[in-house]
A and B are shown apart, each in its own frame.
Chain A
């Protein structure tokens, strides 16, 4: 792999930047792999990267039916934070946060991770009680956070309407300075380039159509490019996880919903941070390009159509204008939807399944992007050892039968 550096930039300038190496190969599938990852989004590519880097398992294929990072990795609002309420979730997301902080150096790829801070606004007394409880829980777990007053919020984000004239006046917020945003495509590309350099085969335009299962153990997958053998298969397919589980003959406690986001026309820099409000229900940040990046809620019904409903867009923009009246005449440029796999307790599933050798990493629902490196890291460990990583163990599918749920609904960020 050609490493990127200031020196390589100067060197390639001499040849008019025409001789840069391709990011990854486009290999022909082998007959058999040690591990197959189904799903070439951020989480799947991160899993392959950490399998090769930390566990020396390089006979790995990532199978993607479309193109790398073309699903929810390309469709989210790129927010990264770790201020979750419960110990199990906080530990998992903080593990990811620590990996984010060194990710660009680790991958030799600029993922544009920008720790510009995340505000979670409170508009009611109950909001403020929940925020205080969550910030205290975060600090006990070693995660940065503080409760800030409307005056402090005004200093952090002057464009926000912190006056008492607002319909839902802001009473305070939680503030996680280490939170921020990252460049979503670069995350997928960086992991893909890193994995490819370590010998992982990235198979695009390859769709899994079924699993080969012998005596209750997975031995490979059927694809539109023929059968491929595997000792272990890990599925990281977000909204289509339930469809894959159906092919393997079992059911997951998932519901797939459309979740949409939109971006405005580019503006001069106006937002300093990421602002989220559970109560008026909107979240917003500004990309380095200048677009306002706005996230909506999920549609309440099941859907695989990768588009959202118009009433949801309207409610979202009402919320944004409620928080930022200054944006009332900003025009929206693009709008899109992704299919998120939601679980009953709003926490992911990182688990073995009734089929031996077949593992699922799914159920990240509306907030998977922030966990990308951590999710891949603990899932790679799980696949390599054949047992759950200590941080992943509480997220077993068993919890929906034992009752040991990790209820993060509304505890952090925006309730969907």
Chain B
């Protein structure tokens, strides 16, 4: 069972108070009308699925009901940090400087 630190409540609470809501830091394309089908498909359906460090969005559903971010290792399930919306992670797979890509890109269209 996860013991999760809510950055808004500033307390550790049990996993059942929270809900995971998928990958964090997904930016909606600024101009959807001008976005290609490929880029829109990426935005809607293609998510990071790393075997390792992952940044994800959680909501403190039966607590403060606020959304926040968790950096977690998907192999060991260890929670590496929690941080508020709008903040950037300090722990990343590629070292402290790298930040996760806002939108996924596919290398090349289907052959």
B81 within 8 A of A: no
A29 within 8 A of B: no
Cβ contacts B17-42/A at 8 Å (1 or 0 each): 00110100000000000000110110
Task: Select which of B37, B75, B108, B111 is within 8 A of A304 by beta carbon.
Answer: B75
CB-based contact B45/A301 at 8 Å: no
Q: How far is the CB of B77 from chain A (nearest CB, A)?
A: 6
CB-based contact B51/A243 at 8 Å: yes
Q: How far is the CB of A305 from chain B (nearest CB, A)?
A: 6
B1 within 8 A of A: yes
* Chain B minimum-CB-distance residue to A358: B111
B94 within 8 A of A: no
Q: A303-B77, A402-B37 are in contact. Are A344 and B44 (CB under 8 A)?
A: yes
CA distance A311 to B75 in the complex (A): 19
Task: Select which of B20, B40, B109 is within 8 A of A354 by beta carbon.
Answer: B109
Q: A242-B49, A300-B20 are in contact. Are A354 and B111 (CB under 8 A)?
A: yes
CA distance A254 to B74 in the complex (A): 14
Q: A255-B49, A300-B20, A401-B41 are in contact. Are A354 and B77 (CB under 8 A)?
A: no
CB-based contact B38/A401 at 8 Å: yes
Cβ contacts B39-70/A at 8 Å (1 or 0 each): 01100111101110010100000000000000
Q: How far is the CB of A351 from chain B (nearest CB, A)?
A: 8
Task: Select which of B16, B77, B108 is within 8 A of A305 by beta carbon.
Answer: B77
Interface segment out of the listed A132-140, A182-190, A245-253, A280-288: A245-253
B10 within 8 A of A: no
Contacts of A403 in B (CB 8 A): 37, 41
A7 within 8 A of B: no
Q: A256-B49, A402-B37 are in contact. Are A302 and B74 (CB under 8 A)?
A: yes
Contacts of B99 in A (CB 8 A): none
CB-based contact B19/A311 at 8 Å: no
Contacts of A254 in B (CB 8 A): 47, 49
Contacts of B49 in A (CB 8 A): 242, 252, 254-256, 302
Q: A249-B107, A303-B77 are in contact. Are A344 and B45 (CB under 8 A)?
A: yes
CA distance A252 to B45 in the complex (A): 9
CA distance A243 to B110 in the complex (A): 19
CB-based contact A250/B72 at 8 Å: no
CA distance A402 to B110 in the complex (A): 12
CB-based contact B76/A305 at 8 Å: yes
CA distance A366 to B30 in the complex (A): 35
Considering only residues 83-111 of chain B, those with a C-beta below 8 Å from chain A are 104, 106-111
CB-based contact A354/B75 at 8 Å: no
Task: Select which of B41, B54, B74, B108 is within 8 A of A400 by beta carbon.
Answer: B41
Q: A240-B51, A253-B45 are in contact. Are A354 and B106 (CB under 8 A)?
A: yes
CB-based contact B104/A304 at 8 Å: no
CB-based contact A353/B47 at 8 Å: no
Q: How far is the CB of B20 from chain A (nearest CB, A)?
A: 4
Contacts of A243 in B (CB 8 A): 51
CB-based contact A255/B47 at 8 Å: yes
A356 within 8 A of B: yes
Q: How far is the CB of B106 from chain A (nearest CB, A)?
A: 6
Cβ contacts A247-277/B at 8 Å (1 or 0 each): 0011111111000000000000000000000
A398 within 8 A of B: yes
CA distance A303 to B79 in the complex (A): 12
CB-based contact A397/B110 at 8 Å: yes
A352 within 8 A of B: yes
A216 within 8 A of B: yes
CA distance A143 to B71 in the complex (A): 46
A156 within 8 A of B: no
CA distance A344 to B20 in the complex (A): 16
CA distance A255 to B26 in the complex (A): 15
CB-based contact B111/A356 at 8 Å: yes
Cβ contacts A215-232/B at 8 Å (1 or 0 each): 010000000000000000
* Chain A minimum-CB-distance residue to B39: A401
Q: Name 22 A/B residue pairs within 8 A (Cβ), A-sorted.
A: A216-B111, A240-B51, A243-B51, A249-B107, A250-B106, A251-B104, A251-B106, A252-B49, A253-B45, A256-B51, A302-B49, A304-B51, A305-B74, A310-B1, A352-B110, A353-B111, A354-B106, A354-B110, A355-B111, A397-B110, A398-B110, A403-B41
Q: Which residues of A contact B (CB under 8 A)?
A: 216, 240, 242-243, 249-256, 300-305, 309-311, 344, 352-356, 397-398, 400-403
